[in-house]
């Protein structure tokens, strides 16, 4: 338990270090989701249009 | 040589080529980032001056490098577009700013969280910090141009010219710590006389930076594929 609290405290700088890593993690996850959701949406639209155009793609 | 490369300028072929590269990037990036995080947070030594706060370096510096590298990439793609007029170049360049602005934002926020315990303040109008904030605004400008002139040759040209003009900020960011007296520390890794940073800190920093760079490439390649598919959608919709 005390070892865990030492890790979180980081000699009194825990707030700054963990906040920085938290911001880094959240922003990267949001970016990742944004990129993947865009890809998914475009794929869905493209499949619908290809089907509508009787399978003509090029 | 250039003629051989012409066939890869076909967006569909390019999209197929980057597919396996993209997956390799992701599956290499994730373990590298995990290893970098574990070593950086729990095994690397604290700095003799900055103590534990130096651990912020592993995410701050790697994000800053990506922000700068992304701009250099946009600059060269814009120059190539203006010279050879291959639409694929500007299509690729236009997919970078949104990803790069997130890394720039991470750099500014983590830098500010590192600045408070080190300098006693979250923000100063120091040359390095200000020039990095300008980089964020340049990325915003590029995103706005892209949104305002979607699928328009004038938009492509405006994007390319702005990115070339904005490139003046890159050497300013890099050398700001040498040209002016700044609170920000001078370069300790990429410098003429070699890295001055301790090897125990350099290893996790390099692992982390490589991981983040590969993740950046994965995100860019995915965005490029989406942009190519968007053009197909536009073509198919116009047939209706």
Mind listing the pLDDT tens digit for each residue in B200-212? 999 999 999 999 9
Question: What mean pLDDT is predicted for residues B68-97?
Answer: 94
Which pLDDT band holds residue B194 (cuts at 50, 70, 90)?
Answer: confident
Q: Is residue A9 helix, strand or coil?
A: helix
Distance between CA atoms of residues B29 and B81, nearest Å: 29
Distance between CA atoms of residues A5 and B216, nearest Å: 34
Among B5-14, B68-77, B141-150, B175-184, whose mean pLDDT is lowest? B5-14
Question: What mean pLDDT is predicted for residues B97-101?
Answer: 97
Residue B185 has pLDDT above 90, yes or no: no
pLDDT the model gives residue B195: 74
What are B177's two structure tokens? 């710590």
Chain A touched by B237 (CB under 8 Å)? yes
pLDDT the model gives residue A55: 59
pLDDT the model gives residue B2: 63
Chain B touched by A46 (CB under 8 Å)? yes
Distance between CA atoms of residues B54 and B117, nearest Å: 10
Chain A touched by B116 (CB under 8 Å)? yes
pLDDT the model gives residue B3: 67
Closest CA to B181 of B227, B127, B226, B222: B127
Contact: A39, B225; criterion CB under 8 Å = yes
Tens-digit pLDDT profile for residues A6-58: 778 888 899 999 999 999 999 999 999 999 999 999 999 888 888 877 655 54
Query: What is the ipTM, given to two decimal places?
Result: 0.91
Closest CA to B83 of B175, B141, B197, B164: B164
Q: What is the mean pLDDT of chain B?
A: 90
Beta bridge pairs of residue B47 = B51
How many C-beta atoms lie closer than 10 Å to residue A36's C-beta? 13
Out of A13, A46, A53, name the one closest to residue B53 (CB).
A13
Chain B touched by A36 (CB under 8 Å)? yes
Out of B52, B53, B102, name the one closest to residue A31 (CB).
B102
Task: Report the Cα B179 to chain-centroid distance in Å.
Answer: 23
Alpha carbon distance, N-terminus to C-terminus of chain B: 40
pLDDT the model gives residue B123: 94
Which pLDDT band holds residue B56 (cuts at 50, 70, 90)?
Answer: very high
Distance between CA atoms of residues B45 and B97, nearest Å: 35
Residue B146 has pLDDT above 80, yes or no: yes
- The answer to whether A25 touches B112, Cβ cutoff 8 Å, is no
- The answer to whether B107 touches B209, Cβ cutoff 8 Å, is no
Q: Is residue A13 helix, strand or coil?
A: coil
pLDDT the model gives residue B163: 95
- Exposed, middle or buried, B5 (CB in 10 Å: 0-12/13-18/19+)? exposed
> DSSP states of B86-116 as a string?
-HHHHHHHHTHHHHHHHHHHHHHHHHHHHHH
């Amino acid at each position: 338990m005390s070892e865990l609290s030492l890790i979180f405290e980081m000699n009194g700088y825990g707030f700054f270090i963990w906040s920085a890593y938290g911001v880094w993690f959240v922003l990267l996850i949001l970016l990742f989701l944004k990129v993947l959701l865009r890809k998914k949406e475009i794929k869905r639209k493209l499949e619908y249009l290809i089907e509508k155009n009787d399978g003509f793609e090029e | 040589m250039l003629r051989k490369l012409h066939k890869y300028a076909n967006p569909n072929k390019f999209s197929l080529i980057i597919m396996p590269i993209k997956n390799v990037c992701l599956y290499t990036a994730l373990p590298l980032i995990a290893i970098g995080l574990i070593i950086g947070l729990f095994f690397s030594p604290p700095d003799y001056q900055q103590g534990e706060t130096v651990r912020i370096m592993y995410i701050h510096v790697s994000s800053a490098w990506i922000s700068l590298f992304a701009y250099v990439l946009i600059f060269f793609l814009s120059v190539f577009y203006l010279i050879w007029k291959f639409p694929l170049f500007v299509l690729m360049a236009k997919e970078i700013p949104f990803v790069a602005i997130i890394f720039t934002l991470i750099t500014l926020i983590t830098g500010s969280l590192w600045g408070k315990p080190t300098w006693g303040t979250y923000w100063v109008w120091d040359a390095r910090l200000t020039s990095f904030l300008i980089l964020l605004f340049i990325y915003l400008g590029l995103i706005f141009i892209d949104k305002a002139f979607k699928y328009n040759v004038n938009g492509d040209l405006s994007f390319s010219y702005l990115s070339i003009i904005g490139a003046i900020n890159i050497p300013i960011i890099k050398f700001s710590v040498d040209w002016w007296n700044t609170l920000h520390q001078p370069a300790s890794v990429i410098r003429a006389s070699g890295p001055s940073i301790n090897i125990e800190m350099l290893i996790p920093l390099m692992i982390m930076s490589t991981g983040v760079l590969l993740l950046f490439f994965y995100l860019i390649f995915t965005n490029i594929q989406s942009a190519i598919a968007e053009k197909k959608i536009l073509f198919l919709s116009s047939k209706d």
